[in-house]
Chain A
Amino acid sequence: MAKRIDVSGLSAYYGSVRAIEDISLTVEPRTVTAFIGPSGCGKSTVLRTLNRMHEVIPGTRVEGKVMLDDVDLYGAGIDPVAVRRTIGMVFQRPNPFPTMSIYENVAAGLRLNGVRGKSDTDGIVEQSLRGANLWNEVKDRLNKPGMGLSGGQQQRLCIARAIAVSPDVLLMDEPCSALDPISTLAIEDLIAQLKNEYTIVIVTHNMQQAARVSDRTAFFNIEGTGKPGKLIEIDDTPRIFANPSQRATEDYITGRFG
């Protein structure tokens, strides 16, 4: 559970276009790290390299190292499928499987991991839904379609689905950008709880959100269109928002650009 991520010299490409260049950063276990920065700065790309989702898109490629504790995720003999089983991901738009019930959605990852027994599955499904603060709302309709839930509930369902397989790390790609403020608050509360068990990395456009939920904040920026995104700085969140060491960070968080 809850492992450290150590990124060094990471670059990622879409075809011949370099999206991010020479990123190095560390994510401590049981912390929330927020990635902020203007659109197109590559923060989502960095996130997607952490569980090897980047390479799902044809023609993409990654250079550099991503260490999960002492294992290089891009090392020889590493199976990207296994990487994704240990590093869970939640997406911008809630994406429960539309033909599946609430129960089946949470159990989907378990089935991939070969969990078959009904009582085992029942227990983990309940535990995951409780962990995602959704159990009380759905316990009477576990067999109803996941798509019947509200947007915020769907997103919590996706979080339950992600934590059901007990990942080491949880990646969240703008998890609240499609949600209303109340649902956003519910997710943020949930992140604060999940932090006790998981290493969490969250990409967000919302700087208040980064300030509210994260322990550390990484600011990414891009010099211009077509240029690769770079990490400007990473530091404790209060320091980034109160007294950043880079001018560009200060300009961004004070709303002078972006």
Chain B
Amino acid sequence: MSSDTPPVLAEPEGQAPEPVRARSALTEKAGLGDRAFAGSARAAAVFILVIMAAIAGFLIYQAVNAISQDKVNFLTSFAWDPDGNNTNGVPTFGIAAIAWGTLVTSVVGVLLGAPVAIGVALFITQYVPRKLGSFFGYIVDLLAAVPSVVYGLWGLLVLDRHMSGVSKLIEDVLGWIPMFKTNGTYGSSMFTAGVVLAIMILPIVAAISREIYKQTPREQIEAAYALGATKWEMIRLAVLPYGRSGVTSAVILGFGRALGETIAVAMVLTTVPGLVTRILQPGGNTIAANIAVQFGEAFTTGRQALIASGLVLFLMTLIVNYVARLVIRRSTNKAGA
């Protein structure tokens, strides 16, 4: 607030120093420029809130409208036929199947991507000379600059061909778990989508982790070395504990990205209706991909139903972020910092 600001500091910077003016510095109100700036900043903040409220209101209105026409349970149904194409115009849709697909692909993406990202961050900050490290960091950052649609094309045209071998191997070893059984065909699966997501979230998780690990206090590192720690023991004693909460939030941020990733997943997956539990065989769908694929050909109720599913996705991301905050808060309390 302008009244808190000492008038002396309210003078615009970058001007030549002026001689002390005759006016009393203690009673002088904030200058016109200062008030104008405060006013415009406040207006911008209010404007953002108004826009967000308007968007939320519009989406909720549309969603409620669709859900009220739904003839099955919106949260638990596996069907997606909001325009009633197969049921003589009776809307039947639920988000259970696509929410499941969203979670599964994202979890696969995080499980595969996060360890690699953390490894990359440790390698860059702890194992290579600084110059080489920043070069590697730059290369990893470049991954983030590749457009989603390119990842989608690559996943569909290149990666998917090579996934059948890996998928078959996993089935051979872990096939006794229902999730890893297949009908004999592999690819265009939620697993492939998860691998694409892993690569897509890798740069952000690696970049954040790198910045955190880089800030490990010198004293902690030396404390570990002075006890006779090897490099890896030093990392375990000093670097990993220091970075734990930050890296956890980086991973959860990556998870949030994976949840919302649309076009690459839509291109890779062969969508089939209903719930798909087998992640190695073709099939599966996610909320975001479903919206991208269906929106063009949906009618009024269909569009509103897709908006409703988008709201669910938004809610999921919100919960994920909230959990991330809880994790961070708990681990910082434990550290006593």
In the complex with contacts A84-B225, A147-B336, A147-B337, A108-B237 CB distance below 8 A: yes
User: Are A95 and B228 within 8 A (Cβ)?
Assistant: no
Chain B residues 200-254 with CB under 8 Å of chain A are: 217, 219-230, 233, 237-238, 241-242, 244
Contact of A98 among B129, B220, B224, B227 (CB under 8 A): B220
Q: Is A38's beta carbon under 8 Å from chain B?
A: no
A84 in contact with B130 (CB, 8 Å): no
A82 vs B229: C-alpha distance when bound (angstroms): 9
Give the residue of B130, B226, B233, B242 whose beta carbon is less than 8 angstroms from that of A91: B226
B42 interfacial contact with A, CB 8 Å: no
Instruction: Verify B229–A112 contact, CB threshold 8 A.
Output: yes
A89 interface residue (CB < 8 Å to B): yes
Contact: A91 with B223, CB < 8 Å? yes
Interface: B20 (CB within 8 A)? no
**Which residues 60-99 in A have Cβ within 8 Å of B in the complex?**
81-86, 88-89, 91, 93, 95-99
The number of chain A residues touching the other chain, given as a range, is 20 to 34
Q: Which of B130, B225, B331, B334 contacts A56 (CB 8 A)?
A: B225
| Mask of B309-336 contacts with A, CB within 8 angstroms, 1/0 | 0000000000000000000000100111
Known: A91-B222, A108-B237. A98 touches B229 (CB 8 A): no
- Contact call B241/A81, Cβ cutoff below 8 A: no
Closest to B226 in A: A89
- Residues of A near B129 (CB, < 8 A) are 58
Minimal beta-carbon separation of A89 from chain B (angstroms): 4
Q: Among the interface residues A89, A93, A97, which one has the most CB atoms of the partner chain B within 10 A?
A: A97
A165 near B: Cβ within 8 Å? Answer: yes
The residues of B that contact A9 with a CB separation of less than 8 Å are none
- A158: which of B221, B223, B337 is its contact (CB, 8 Å)? B223
Q: How far is the CB of B226 from chain A (nearest CB, A)?
A: 4
B238's closest neighbor in chain A, by CB? A97
Known: A81-B230, A165-B228. A95 touches B337 (CB 8 A): no
CB proximity of B49 to chain A, nearest CB, Å: 38
Smallest Cβ-Cβ distance to A144: which chain B residue? B336
Q: Which residues of A contact B334 (CB under 8 A)?
A: 99, 145
Of the A-B pairs whose beta carbons lie under 8 Å apart in the complex, a sample of 7, sorted by A's number, is A51-B226, A58-B130, A89-B222, A91-B226, A98-B242, A158-B223, A161-B227
**Contacts A86-B228, A99-B242, A112-B229 given; 9 further ones with Cβ under 8 A?**
A56-B222, A83-B228, A91-B226, A93-B219, A96-B223, A97-B237, A99-B331, A100-B241, A112-B233
- B residues whose Cβ falls under 8 Å from a Cβ of A: 129-130, 217, 219-230, 233, 237-238, 241-242, 244, 331, 334-337
Residues of A within 8 A of B (CB): 51, 53, 56, 58, 81-86, 88-89, 91, 93, 95-100, 108-109, 112-113, 145, 147-148, 158, 161-162, 165
